[in-house]
């Protein structure tokens, strides 16, 4: 989800396979299968997923978004794995983590995204455990030291009840003392005014339009490119609300950063959270 207003840097690890992340050439042929676990699948089919229509567009669309990869990789190294990534998408984060020798279980409600992810993992010569499932009820029996939900995937949740349910589900996946790391955003008004209802070319040939509703705190985002088009609904809340939800779900907030360089949050659009399973 390349939302208008995302800060972009030129850090390595592009969205497309590249030698910098050892994603270039196939090594040995690790099979990457996508499992449809009954529990997760039931929830997943309940929801329509716009990502299926843009699965092939997603990597070129998010090619400039690289600033978060090192952050999540560092967290994975610190935890040692295995890592559960909720909303794994095409493996933008999961593949570099797996390439570091850390086992990753990736959950996503879009079969199309998982198929691209499996392809990318094969190309990089890494193995991923990919499962069709939902943020609200991930089909994972294992308990792990780290759950991640990168690139604002929690903005796909629309009510506080859903958010609380998703955080409780993430909490249940963690070993005691384990951590949840995720990032979200809440737009600044000038960003909203600048971009509202305008088609902007995010990448060559890839256009996006944001329709903001600041009362309802929702964003209707359309992305259009040669290989697909989709409209998705996102919803944001303020950092204080995320903090309250995390604490309500049994987490202790260890850090709320304002960016992936771990600078403290100082009132910007982005928040990057590390929350520890306290009980």
Ligand X SMILES: C[S@@+](CC[C@H](N)C(=O)[O-])C[C@H]1O[C@@H](n2cnc3c(N)ncnc32)[C@H](O)[C@@H]1O
Show the binding pattern over residues 99-118: x = contacts ligand X (CB under 6 A), - = does not: --------xxxx--x-----
Q: Which two tokens stand for residue 195?
A: 């971009």
163 touches ligand X by CB under 6 A: no
* Residue 185 vs 251, nearer CB to ligand X: 185
Contact 146, 79 (CB under 8 A): yes
Show the binding pattern over residues 112-151: x = contacts ligand X (CB under 6 A), - = does not: -x--------------------xx--------------xx
Q: Give the one residue of 21, 156, 171, 277 binding ligand X; rule: CB under 6 A.
A: 156
66 touches ligand X by CB under 6 A: no
* Minimum gap (Å) between residue 158 Cβ and ligand X: 10
Among candidates 96, 77, 85, which has minimal Cα distance to 23?
A: 96
Q: Give the one residue of 21, 73, 83, 92 binding ligand X; rule: CB under 6 A.
A: 92
Q: What share of the chain is helix, strand, coil (3-state, %, to 5)?
A: 30, 30, 40
61 touches ligand X by CB under 6 A: no
Burial class (CB in 10 A: 0-12, 13-18, 19+), 210: buried
Q: For ligand X, which stretch binds (CB under 6 A), given 6-14, 88-96, 203-211, 238-246?
A: 88-96
Residue number of the CB closest to ligand X reads: 89
Strand partners, 223: 208, 230
Q: What three-state secondary structure class fits 47?
A: coil
* Residue 193 vs 261, nearer CB to ligand X: 261
Q: What three-state secondary structure class fits 37?
A: coil
Helices of type H across the chain: 38-46, 58-61, 69-79, 94-99, 111-124, 160-173, 189-195, 239-248
Site for ligand X, residues 37 to 56, rule: CB under 6 A: 47, 49, 51
Helix 160-173 × helix 239-248 angle, to 10°: 50
Q: Give the one residue of 14, 89, 125, 228 binding ligand X; rule: CB under 6 A.
A: 89
Instruction: For residues 163 and 157, give the distance between their C-alpha atoms in angstroms, rounded to a whole number.
Output: 6
Binding residues for ligand X (CB under 6 A):
1, 47, 49, 51, 62, 87-89, 92-93, 107-110, 113, 134-135, 150-153, 156
């Amino acid at each position: 989800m390349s939302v208008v207003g995302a800060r972009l840097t030129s850090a390595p690890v592009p969205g497309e396979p590249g030698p910098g992340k050892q994603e270039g050439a196939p090594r040995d042929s690790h099979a990457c299968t996508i499992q449809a676990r009954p529990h997760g699948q039931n929830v997943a089919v309940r929801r329509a997923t716009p990502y299926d229509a843009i699965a092939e567009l997603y990597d070129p669309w998010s090619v400039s978004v690289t600033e978060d990869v090192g952050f999540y990789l560092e967290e994975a190294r610190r935890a040692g794995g295995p890592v559960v990534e909720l909303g794994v998408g095409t493996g933008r984060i999961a593949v570099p983590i797996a390439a570091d020798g850390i086992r990753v279980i990736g959950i996503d409600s879009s079969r199309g995204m998982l198929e691209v992810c499996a392809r990318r993992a094969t190309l990089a010569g890494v193995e991923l455990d990919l499962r069709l499932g939902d943020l609200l009820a991930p089909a994972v029996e294992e308990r792990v030291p780290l759950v991640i939900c990168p690139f604002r995937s929690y903005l796909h949740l629309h009510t506080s009840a859903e958010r609380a349910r998703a955080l409780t589900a993430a909490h249940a996946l963690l070993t005691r003392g384990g951590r949840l790391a995720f990032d979200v955003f809440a737009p600044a008004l000038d960003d909203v005014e600048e971009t509202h209802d305008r088609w902007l070319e995010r990448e060559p040939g890839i256009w996006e339009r944001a329709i903001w509703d600041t009362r309802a705190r929702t964003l209707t985002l359309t992305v259009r490119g040669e290989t697909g088009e989709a409209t998705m609904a996102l919803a944001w809340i303020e950092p204080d609300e995320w903090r309250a939800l995390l604490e309500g779900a049994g987490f202790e907030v260890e850090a709320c950063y304002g960016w992936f360089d771990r600078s403290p949050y100082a009132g910007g659009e982005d928040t990057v959270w590390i929350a520890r399973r306290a009980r």
